Amino acid sequence: MNLYDLIFYLFAIITLISAALVVSSKNIVHSAFYLLFTFFGVAGIYALLGADFVAVVQLLVYVGGILILLLFGVMLTNRISNVELRTGSANVLPAAIGVGMLWGALTAVMTKTKWANVKSNSSDFTAPYLGRMLITDYVLIFELLGILLLIALVAAASIARREKE
């Protein structure tokens, strides 16, 4: 077992344990902070897979943006003064059984399938390649995503604004 494997298992354990705590924690603020560790672990897995740029984007966008947004959502939709931050779960047992079966089926598919295993051993930085692809082959998707983000920004502001009394 070499260093790569050790780091992989470390990040895998961080990711899965914190994800399990996210979905099972009673306190919603704790869930949000466990989600931080999940995103961090997933970023580590991206880095292990040679996707350095995506790992950095994961940290910037998820940890810096989406997580803060979720925390704002928690703070604005719960009465902090009442310490009513507990949130219930429903249908835990049927959901656990169903999701357990789904998990078993997925894992069986992932392990039984003979994947073509041609490991690309390029250890270059990926940012130049990704940038070149963004302005050549994928330029239409890139522009459309820019428009989509603008629309989402305007729509979110428009939905969430307070009505005039």
Partner 1 sequence: MLSVGLTHFLIISSALFSLGVYGVVTRKNAVMVLMGIELILNAANINFIAFARFGNFGHSGQLTALFVIVLAAAEAAIALAIVLNLYKTFSNVNIDEIDNLKE
Q: Using CA atoms, how far apart are residues 36 and 52, in angstroms rounded to an integer?
A: 19
Minimal distance in Å, beta carbon 162 to partner 1?
8
Q: Using CA atoms, how far apart are residues 49 and 42, in angstroms rounded to an integer?
A: 11
Minimal distance in Å, beta carbon 81 to partner 1?
14
The pair of structure tokens assigned to 13 is 């354990």
Q: Using CA atoms, how far apart are residues 105 and 31, in angstroms rounded to an integer?
A: 27
Minimal distance in Å, beta carbon 42 to partner 1?
5
- CB nearer partner 1, residue 2 or residue 81: 2
- CB nearer partner 1, residue 83 or residue 118: 118
Beta carbons within 8 Å of 109's beta carbon, 6+ residues apart: none
